[in-house]
Structure 1
Amino acid sequence: MTAPKSVLVIGGSSDIGHATALRYAQAGWQVALAARDTTAAQRNADDIKARSGVDVPVHALDVLATDKLADFVAALPALPDTVISMIGELGDQKRAETDLAHATMIMRTNFEAPSLLLGLFANAFQARGAGTIVGVSSVAGDRGRGSNYVYGAAKAGFSQFLSGLRNRMALAGGVRVVTVKPGFVRTRMTAHLKLPAPLTVDPGRVAADIFRSAEENGREVIYVGRRFWLVMTIICAIPETVFKRLKL
């Protein structure tokens, strides 16, 4: 009998992390969560077990403690088949414009920390000869906008890191790197925002697209909601002189 595949969802206390872990559990995978807020992650783990019957261990992880990331990877009971980074923090753009500590937190949480951590997993997967890495970035990284450029810049950096890592792993063989770019998602992180209904999805849609792309059809760069690919293609094509007048 073949042992079930395993996935580690980093950022397991989040709404998207919860939905994604549940999707994998319902497909018969062994699932583990990692999060700084282990209380919230445990609630998600308990819910996943109730819905799927799968036991879900929770690991404590503060991604901003980058000096301890290597120890975290080494201490895992087993190296997962797939690792998914849901790490993200929208932050407050206005505050970040004058509060350097807040801006630093946004940049480190969305770029530095997940990049360093996934780089460690890539090395471990390469040594094993197999593995899938999924990084959840954002369409906000496709073009800088005045309303969220600190967050967007960090996500842009993360997307480029994943692109470079994907190319490096392609040369080695055996390790896949998937970039996921959601647009507007109804979560606790966006609850205070007025989101455009036609372009907004729920966490379950993100989870379904991640599983389909990472584990079924082999796509490596996906926009959650196909219409967002068209939206961002148009936005990126607007000349800078015109784009500045849009006050986005």
Structure 2
Amino acid sequence: MSNMHTPVVRDAGKRLLVIGGTSDIGRAVGDAYAAKGWRVAFAARNVEAATRNAEDIQTRRGADQVPVYPLDILETGSFDGFIDSLGDLPDTIVCVVGMLGDQPRAQDDPDHATAIMRTNFEGPALLLELLAGRFATRGHGLIVGVSSVAGDRGRASNYVYGASKAGFSAYLSGLRNRFGQTDVRIVTVKPGFVDTAMTAGMNLPKALTASPEAVAQRILDLQTNKANVVYTFRVWRLIMGIICALPEPIFKRLKL
């Protein structure tokens, strides 16, 4: 039996750029948009892996060519040239770049901690700053930054990763405030646990763990949903609200 999906009607006026095209969430986002007729492009450091995702979308969705642009999120000096290489700006940008890293190693290895912080915060923030400026010059655009519930409050189990995501969330909030009275939209997405290669081997609670496709659908919904901050599962807003409300003396006694 063929795995080919029925081709959808193309809308040449709608373009999506996924920054982080090798990730499971990035692939799912590209696939969801392609299924709606959007022209999709990926940006990634590992062009070969991103190209496999691109070719998969082309085959299954009968989509137009999905170009892959080389991008190292830590090479901040290359960002202007990268944006210029895109030609016409996309209508929507989804940034799913991320590095979980290893908390115990980060505690003893400053280089590893630096890589986590730069990958999750510095690089994405500096790139989105440039892209938002170009969107403002054009007059419109949607930027979706995928952050994490881990940034809502620092916890011993992943505080280096959490701190980097907290910085990214705060950055996106400020960018959203800056462009709040314009047609440039900035949205923060906090997926919670997601069943991806990055979390493989972890004992995740099934009821609180989303699939990459579920996260992608929530991001796709932002084309009509005017939310500013989105939790993939709404229960995460309640959970993190409770965790953030705990007094510090109580919080310090918990094993989180």
Q: TM-score range by the shorter chain?
A: over 0.9
Q: Give yes or no for contact 1:18–1:44 (8 Å, CA) kept in 2.
A: yes
In structure 2, give the amino acid aligned to 1:180. Answer: V
Runs of 5+ unmatched residues, structure 2? 1-9
Say which of 190, 211, 227 aligns to 2:220. 211
Select the residue among 218, 223, 235 that pairs with 2:231: 223
Structure 1 equivalent of residue 184 of structure 2: 175
Does the aligned pair in 2 maintain the 1:81–1:132 contact within 8 Å? yes
Cα distance in structure 2, aligned partners of 1:53 and 1:245? 54
Q: Residue in 1 aligned with 2:28?
A: 19
Cα contact 1:140–1:151 (8 A) shared by 2: yes
Q: Percent identity?
A: 58
TM-score by length of 1: 0.97
Provide, for residues 59-97 of structure 1, a one-character-per-residue CA deviation record: whole Å limited to 9, x for no partner.
110010011111111221221011110000000000000
Q: Pick from 212, 223, 243: which aligns with 2:251?
A: 243
Are residue 141 (structure 1) and residue 123 (structure 2) matched?
no
Q: Say which SS state the counterpart of residue 253 (structure 2) adopts.
A: helix
Residue 59 of structure 1 corresponds to 69
Give me the whole-angstrom Cα distance separating, in 1, the residues matched to 2:201 and 2:124: 25
Q: Is the 8 A contact 1:4 1:28 kept in 2?
A: no
Could you tell me which of 17, 28, 47 is aligned with 1:8? 17
How many Å apart are 1:2 and its aligned residue? Answer: 6.7
Per the alignment, residue 4 of structure 2 pairs with none
Q: Does residue 92 of structure 2 align to residue 82 of structure 1?
A: yes
Q: Deviations over 1:102-159 (max 9, x none)?
A: 0000000000000000001000000000101000000000000000000000000000
Give matches, 1:104-183, under 5 Å: 104-171=114-181, 173-183=182-192
How far apart in 1 are the matches of 2:249 and 2:11?
A: 58
Alignment root-mean-square deviation, CA: 1.1
Unpaired runs of at least 5, structure 1? none
Whether contact under 8 Å (2:179, 2:185) holds in the other structure is yes
Q: Which moved more, 1:224-233 or 1:13-22?
A: 224-233
Aligned to 1:234: 242
TM-score using structure 2 length: 0.94
Residue pair 2:76, 2:123 contacting (<8 A) in 1 also: yes
Contact 2:150 2:161 in 1 (8 A): yes
